[in-house]
Amino acid sequence: MAFLHFSLVLLLSLLCVDAAIFTLQNSCNKTIWPGILSGGGHPLLGNGGLELKPREYINLNAPTGWSGRFWARDGCMFDDSGKGKCATGDCGNALQCNGAGGEPPVSLAEFTLDSPMDFYDVSLVDGYNLPVSIIPSGGFGKCSSVRCVSDLNLKCPESLQVKGADSEVVGCKSACLAFQKPEYCCSGEFNDPKICKPTNYSKIFKKACPTSYSYPYDDATSTFTCQEANYLISFC
């Protein structure tokens, strides 16, 4: 009887290893290279980076308690050894990011699973490079979809623009990144939600993507929860 109980517990534990399945989908009309950064102590998913051609997708299993972020790299060129560079979202000149984050500006999909529910958001705090959406499925709770599908590069103020080799705008910096001032970064004496308020720059981001983080204290309209869901992360 004790052996049967142990076997049942072991079986249940094996069935419950994965907390969620993340599906990364390239909805762009060009190849992208998603980057993945796991939170401290959590396993790296997808070796930290991969290539997705137009309309391709990949499923990644995340264990219980996983946290981390996903972003799309654009304009990349890698050699056969996986060395190279991207126009936006670069993570150390390598196909597999291996624990390195994306170089801003990047649009981020962020997750903390099982805490005790899943928390997720789309963040433009590090700027914007490509549209990104998070669409939960199979969970319970409010489980809202979060979409930032507006092309902010077309609306980006000149002082925030990042341009590619052909002078096309390929990314839009946050005001914090562009100006390094406490009032834009919510740092120093501005490290207080009562003091650090939306700026004219963050309002441009918020108008374009109302459910995305536009500055560090934009929690009220930008953090979402769900339980026992899987998540589609779609770029473009």
> All domains of the chain, ordered by start, with CATH?
18-152+210-235 (2.60.110.10)
> Quick one: pLDDT at residue 4?
36
> Quick one: pLDDT at residue 156?
97
Distances (CA, A) of 66 to 97, 110, 115, 117, 118: 18, 11, 10, 12, 10
State the 10-residue block means of pLDDT for the chain, 236 residues long.
37 55 97 95 92 97 96 95 94 93 97 95 97 96 95 96 91 96 96 96 96 94 96 98
What ranges in the chain are assigned the alpha helix state H?
A: 2-15, 175-179, 182-185, 200-208
> Quick one: pLDDT at residue 17?
56
Residue 169 · residue 144 · CB < 8 Å: no
> Quick one: pLDDT at residue 208?
96
> Quick one: pLDDT at residue 167?
87
